[in-house]
Chain A
Amino acid sequence: MTLTPAELTSAVSGGIGTSPQRPDGNLKVRGEFAYASDLWHEDMIWGATLRSPHPYARITSVDITEALKVPGVYAVLTADDVPGRNLYGLEHKDQPVLAVDVVRYQGEPIALVGADHPETALRAMKKIVVTYEVLEPVVDMETAVDDTPLHPGGNLVRHVPIRRGSQDVTAEVVVTGRYEVGMQDQAFLGPESGLAVPASDGSVDLYIATQWLHVDRDQIAAALGLPQEQVRLTLSGVGGAFGGREDLSMQVHACLLALHTGKPVKMVYNREESFYGHVHRHPAVLYYEHGADHTGKLVYVRTRMYLDGGAYASSTPAVVANAATLGVGPYEVDNVTVDAYGVYTNNPPCGAMRGFGAVQAGFAYESQMDKLAEALGMSPVDVRVRNAMTEGSVMPTGQVVDSAAPVAQLLKLVQDKPLPAGTSSDIRELPGGVSNTTHGEGVVRRVGYAVGIKNICFSEGYDDYSTARVRVSMVNGSLSAAVHTAACEVGQGLVTIMQQIVRTELGIERVTVLPMDTTIGNGGSTSASRQTYVTGGAVKAACALVRDKLAGRTDIGDEVIDETTEWRHRATEAIDPVTGQGNAHVQYGFAAHRAVVDVDVDLGLVRVVALDCAQDVGKALNPQAVVGQIQGGSAQGLGLAVMEEIQTSGGKVRNPSFTDYLIPTVLDMPPMSIDVLELADPHAPYGIRGVGEPPTISSTPAIVAAIRAATGLALTRVPVRPEHLTGT
């Protein structure tokens, strides 16, 4: 007799729907978790990277002679030492492993040093003489396309147009706006790091903190000129990712040095270098026009948006597509005109970050919805509910939303939550907090709402799948399972989710998660809120195969049941390059926020008093992890709203440290009341809906809406800073 999963669940604890303790939690809190920066090999040497100080320059010479003479130096490498293809990239292969003739952003790698000590490597690095012809950088995303071409094909990375319905319809009420989003950093705490260990046969093992082992491997192998099987990757402890580890950083560099010297090579960026070592969130300029009838029903939305991809394409094409296809938000609009442009400049390269294009559009369209509400004399919630998408609504791409889209319900949930008590007498809860700036004088409290939409999983026809292996054997007289994937645990809790799924599917409590590596098939990227969906689906599918062979037995003697399978979500389509029409996305996720904000209008200080959220997650496999994702995403949105920005001047980063790039502390983040809806998506394993990104989208505009209400200011740019509020 084979038990169904439901029957099995009752037999073991720690299955889906519960919140078993994650194995890394206590270790991380105690400072004992082994991150990639803790990697060690007895005879390893250290790698260092020489980077361009200029955002745009021609390299006229590189002289490594003196650097090679430094005692303790094993190798100094330049582009000439890249044996394979000296270009890589997630979507366009446009980024050199080491610069050739030209550098296109500040911090671009030019040469590598391998030495017996990190300090030796740095000293040798300073002896490399690079001469530059400094060029005028391209820094304005709105004019970049007509500026000096930085790449052979010019500065347009991708233009995504969407044309739906009438392009010239008029409306009774029209609101327009220009919005800006500053460059946000993922601000993960664990810097880029890894250890490359050469083997005697010319192959290499890389232990690495990354988001996608297989695509790293493919790019590394191409650069090294090695067959893929000669490059083996194992995931090391990842100290946060948020999209910033989708692109390569030191992966190829460490492998080059290891193969060149025959020594294990460790590379660890320091904090400043980390700011140059990963892509950031695209800054954006967005022009919007919303037309509505007198009842508040949207007649049309027209938008033109620019996203600054910086020096290399990274994932700009997909970011632009998201911004475009999600560009009207979670609303029904019959007539849509979108032109979204991703461009090259000499600013820092930008790519994936939590929310991925939807964040930039979300700030703008939600600001517009508030403006529309004001023009109509409606409440911000009512105008949103009036236009709220539901299941069966049609996206600007023509795609029908074919599972739950509880937009109005989410808004009403946050609207109906009790409001916090009046302005506090505890200064820690006031603007300025312990900085002792107010005891309530100058403080105005207001409320803001926002709702957002995010596509879950990879889009536009990408063959998105994951591979899972589940092995069952007897250990100490009882069944034990091991699960193996190449899907990266980056702190989101995938290890625990996989254990929960195996427990539920097989009724086996003891589940070991094997190291994530490339000895198994592709697990896909830990991004787009997709791992629980896709790798979870693969683990579930592998369990089904195991369950058939197990056939209800609780003792299988010496037998080992070992099943590996690939699992795909349903296919998507490319969008039409002229009209933007097509079933581009797998699934949509929605979240709504209500922000309650105290603003000291004299001093320009903001205290977010409450940031309550409602989100549909389809099915909460691990309720505690779901709440953690919503809190974290909301905090990241708060950061973008009021403090986080990489400041650039002439293409150079002016605040590459965590002293100068500010992220919210626990004092800046209020406690949250969170409603989790579980409206199952019939297309997804267990009905789940990706959780990680949606809360990042609505958090920012909800907070800014509340600040606008408190100050009466337009506030068209995030982050909002004190000087934007003091009227000075």
Chain B
Amino acid sequence: MHAFDYAAASTVRGALDLAGPGSAFLAGGTTLVDLMKLDVLTPDRVIDVNALPLKGIRLHDGALRIGALERMSDVAAHPVVRSVHPVISKALLLSASGQVRNMASIGGNLMQRTRCDYFRDVTSACNKRRPGSGCPALTGVNRNHAVLGTSDSCVATHASDVAVAFVALDAQVVLRSKDGDRVAPLEEFYRLPGSTPDRENVLGPGELIAEVVVPVLPWARHSTYLKIRDRQSYEFALTSVAAAVDVKRGVVQDVRLAAGGVAAKPWRLRAVEEALKGGVAIERTFAEAAESAVDGARPLAHNAFKTALLKRTIVRALLDAAGAR
């Protein structure tokens, strides 16, 4: 492991003062420490932010507000989360392991890095880790990689489950820096890889995620998260879908949909949403609408199956969320 200084901050201001080039914020450490051991991340300074007052889960001003340092387990178990936005709780509970969920923070979850093996293997080229070095996943083992939002520079998948639920629900993140707070929709917080896959989000240097704000959507209490994976637990998604549907008299009034496991970032499925609105809430409608989910998909040698699997995952998630099964 690369040698580093450790500093703990007790105030946001203190943490931001300590931050600088080559520094990294440490919350649960489930991504950072793992990647430091592999030499993928080599910060010169690690700033422990666990004591910062970025906690609390509450309903305020028409939104569910979750402090960035809340642990995945605590958010998943929170009664307000479970009743207002069950999809958040479900997505969290299908993530990682109990041990990881007890450690990992919500802010850290949103900042987690891809599981792409070439990114994790420092003896390999990777445009995300070493810009300009190339992307061996394009021609190598790419079964777990993305089919949507990719570029010739990077085909890595965004690994978070809960971010998919957040993006479906139009969540925003509050970003805090010395200049004050700014708010960004989570969907726009993430950048597509393009030619700069090393730049994964819009976070500026010395800027922290302080809070996640999820607007309350009354009908989103009928929401679900569905995850296709290679074994029953402890595994990333091949495909996943977060879905909330408002069905009245058998007709889809409104819908929120996002997909995971298939894209360079949590992937909002707006075209599918549009196709669903006003439709009869039956399987055939869902299947027809799901067709547009993979528009623009760029399958690779080993992951072409994800396009059809995504469409079927959408259908199942809609059936579940609409209470049609």
Contacts and interface: CB of A to CB of B under 8 A. Distances in A.
Interface of A: 53, 119, 122-123, 270, 272, 432-439, 441, 602-605, 607, 643, 647, 649-650, 654-655, 659-660, 662, 664-665, 667-668, 721-723, 726-728
A662 B94 contact: no
A649 B230 contact: no
17 contacts: A53-B123, A119-B1, A123-B3, A272-B38, A432-B227, A434-B93, A435-B226, A435-B228, A438-B316, A439-B325, A602-B316, A603-B316, A604-B305, A643-B230, A655-B117, A722-B238, A726-B305
B60 interface: no
A435 B229 contact: yes
Contacts of B319: 441
B83 interface: no
A665 B232 contact: yes
Interface in B296-325: 304-305, 307-309, 312-313, 316, 319-320, 325
B90 interface: yes
Contacts of A441: 316, 319, 325
B80 interface: no
Contacts of A119: 1
Nearest to A270: B37
A667 B232 contact: yes
A647 B301 CA distance: 15
B94 A603 contact: no
Interface string B218-242: 0000001111111111110010000
Contacts of B93: 434
A435 B227 contact: yes
Contacts of A643: 230-231
Q: 10 nearest interchain CB pairs?
A: A723-B305, A728-B308, A433-B232, A53-B123, A667-B232, A728-B305, A435-B227, A654-B141, A649-B140, A649-B141
Given A435-B232, A728-B304, A603 B141 contact: no
A667 B233 contact: yes
B115 interface: yes
A437 B231 CA distance: 12
Contacts of A662: 230-231, 235
Contacts of A660: 115, 117
A671 to B, nearest CB: 15
Interface in B133-169: 140-141, 143
A689 to B, nearest CB: 33
A51 B219 CA distance: 56
A655 B230 CA distance: 14
Given A270-B37, A435-B227, 13 more contacts: A434-B232, A435-B226, A436-B94, A437-B227, A441-B316, A603-B228, A607-B232, A647-B141, A654-B140, A662-B235, A665-B232, A722-B238, A728-B304
A122 B1 contact: yes
A566 to B, nearest CB: 46
Contacts of B90: 436
Contacts of B140: 649-650, 654
B115 A659 contact: yes
Contacts of A727: 308
Interface in B85-129: 90, 93-94, 115, 117, 123
B275 to A, nearest CB: 20
A720 to B, nearest CB: 11
Contacts of A53: 123
B226 A437 contact: yes
Interface string B34-72: 000110000000000000000000000000000000000
A526 B90 CA distance: 45
Nearest to A647: B141
B320 A436 contact: yes
A272 to B, nearest CB: 8
Contact of B233 (A433, A605, A607, A650): A433
Contacts of A607: 232
Nearest to B302: A723
A437 B1 CA distance: 40
Contacts of B233: 433-434, 665, 667
A647 B302 CA distance: 12
A12 B313 CA distance: 61
Given A432-B228, A605-B228, A665 B308 contact: no
Contacts of A728: 304-305, 307-309
B103 to A, nearest CB: 15
Contact of A437 (B115, B141, B307, B316): B316
A432 B141 CA distance: 24
Given A435-B232, A660-B117, A722 B226 contact: no
Contacts of A665: 231-234
A667 B234 CA distance: 10
Contacts of B1: 119, 122
B115 A654 contact: no
A726 B309 contact: yes
Among A272, A438, A643, A728: residue with most chain B CB under 10 A: A728
Contacts of A436: 90, 94, 224-227, 320
Contacts of A438: 316
Given A436-B227, A643-B230, A728-B304, A603 B115 contact: no
Contacts of A272: 38
A722 B313 contact: no
Contacts of B227: 432, 435-437
A660 B117 CA distance: 9
Contacts of A433: 232-233
A438 B227 CA distance: 10
Contacts of B231: 643, 662, 664-665, 667-668
A723 B141 CA distance: 14
B158 to A, nearest CB: 16
Contact of A603 (B117, B313, B325): B313
B308 A726 contact: yes
Contacts of A435: 94, 226-229, 232
B72 to A, nearest CB: 16
A434 B93 CA distance: 9
Contacts of B226: 435-437
Contacts of B143: 647, 723
Nearest to B90: A436
Contacts of B320: 436, 439
Given A53-B123, A122-B1, A437 B235 contact: no
A272 B122 CA distance: 13
Contacts of B225: 436
A664 B226 CA distance: 20
Contacts of B117: 654-655, 660
Contacts of A602: 312, 316
Contacts of B325: 439, 441
Contacts of A723: 143, 305, 309
Nearest to A435: B227
A726 B143 CA distance: 14
Nearest to A602: B312
B312 A603 contact: yes
B235 A722 contact: no
Nearest to A607: B232
A433 B90 CA distance: 13
Contacts of B312: 602-603, 726
Contacts of B230: 643, 662, 721-722
B297 to A, nearest CB: 12
Contacts of A439: 320, 325
B157 to A, nearest CB: 13
Contacts of B235: 662
A643 B232 CA distance: 11
A721 B235 CA distance: 14
Contacts of A605: 228
A453 to B, nearest CB: 29
A495 to B, nearest CB: 31
Given A434-B94, A441-B325, A647-B141, A603 B232 contact: no
A9 B308 CA distance: 64
Nearest to A665: B233
